[in-house]
Amino acid sequence: MTVVSYCGLTLVALAFLFPFFWMITNTIRPNAEVLAVPPRLLPEEYAWDTFAKAWNELPFGRFFINSFVVAGSVTVITVLVSTLSAYAFARLRFPGRGGLLTTYLATLMIPQVMLVIPLFLIVSRAGLTNTYLGMILPMAFSSFGAFLLRQFFLSIPKELEEAALIDGASRLRVLVSIIVPVSLPAIGLLSLFTFIGQWNNFLWPLIVVDDTAHATLPLGLTMFQTQQGTAWNFIMAGATLSMIPGIILAIGLQQLIYRGIAMSSGFGGR
């Protein structure tokens, strides 16, 4: 019974992984064979240099760097800004705290598609289309991080920081040298989800960028979708490249992701 269960699920899992297999086997065959009729499961002729050729032919290196710069910057800003505001919400008393917290919560409900038009208006009026700043800033101020970290900060015993406060340490000092080191799992989780979310983001770069020099990987992939005689093997090479960070992170940080997703339901569900 157990053996059947394992075998069955393994088969389902392998079938599920098939598109990845198809993607990779199509990067290592010549383009003429990609659309061969009938399709061949394994390449008849191998073209091991597709990846190197694609890298030289299309500016994948550029796209990769752009994706990294944008996703990395958004992550750094999000973590900094969220840490500060989460600490204020978790530990400091100030007039209007409850109301402000509710306002932050309400902004979580707003769909991204809805913001795209006015954000484009703001960014283009500021002359920031086709710039890194225009790609980064509008994505860096979600209030989700403030909630995630606030929740974690509330669980840290107050005694931990009281001694330092009595000794005259400033709140910033307490935050940096006491709260942040204890909160690294939560901060890591926020960084992970922010980075991957931005690495995978397509709609905003599509709106704000139309030159190849600033295109991120997802945007770059679509730029070569309709070129005369689509080079499918090159596009599959690009797709593979764009998936690598996510796959490495998903496998390497599986426990952190598992806990993070489990926490997300506790966050809104209960």
Residues of span 131-190 touching other proteins by CB under 8 A: 137-138, 140-141, 143, 146, 171-172
In sequence order, what DSSP letters do the residues of 201-213 get, joined into one string? Answer: --HHHHHH--SGG
Q: Least distance to other proteins from the beta carbon of 194, Å?
A: 13
Assess 237 for contact with other proteins (CB under 8 A). no
Assess 238 for contact with other proteins (CB under 8 A). yes
CA 167 to CA 198: how far, in whole Å? 41
Selected range binding other proteins among 42-50, 53-61, 154-162, 254-262, rule: CB under 8 A: 254-262
Residue from the set 49, 65, 202, 213 that interacts with other proteins by CB under 8 A = 202
CB 241 within 8 Å of CB 58: no
Total site size for other proteins, rule CB under 8 A = 91
Assess 7 for contact with other proteins (CB under 8 A). no
Q: Least distance to other proteins from the beta carbon of 137, Å?
A: 7
Nearer to other proteins, 46 or 202 (CB): 202
Assess 26 for contact with other proteins (CB under 8 A). yes
- Which of the residues 98 through 127 are near other proteins (CB under 8 A)? 100, 104, 107, 109-122
Residues 6+ apart with CB under 8 A from 136: 70, 73, 74, 77
Nearer to other proteins, 159 or 251 (CB): 251
CA 234 to CA 107: how far, in whole Å? 40
Residue from the set 144, 153, 199, 204 that interacts with other proteins by CB under 8 A = 199
Task: Count CB-CB contacts under 10 A for residue 102.
Answer: 9
- Which of the residues 42 through 81 are near other proteins (CB under 8 A)? 80-81
Residue from the set 7, 11, 22, 65 that interacts with other proteins by CB under 8 A = 22
CB 203 within 8 Å of CB 218: no
Name the 3-class secondary structure at 1: coil
Assess 93 for contact with other proteins (CB under 8 A). yes
CB 224 within 8 Å of CB 230: yes
Assess 221 for contact with other proteins (CB under 8 A). yes
Based on C-alpha coordinates, what's the Rg of the chain? 23
Assess 4 for contact with other proteins (CB under 8 A). no
| Ramachandran bin of 39, using left for φ above 0, alpha for ψ from -120 to 50, beta for the remaining angles | beta
- Biggest distance spanned by C-alpha atoms of the chain: 77
Residue from the set 61, 203, 213, 227 that interacts with other proteins by CB under 8 A = 203
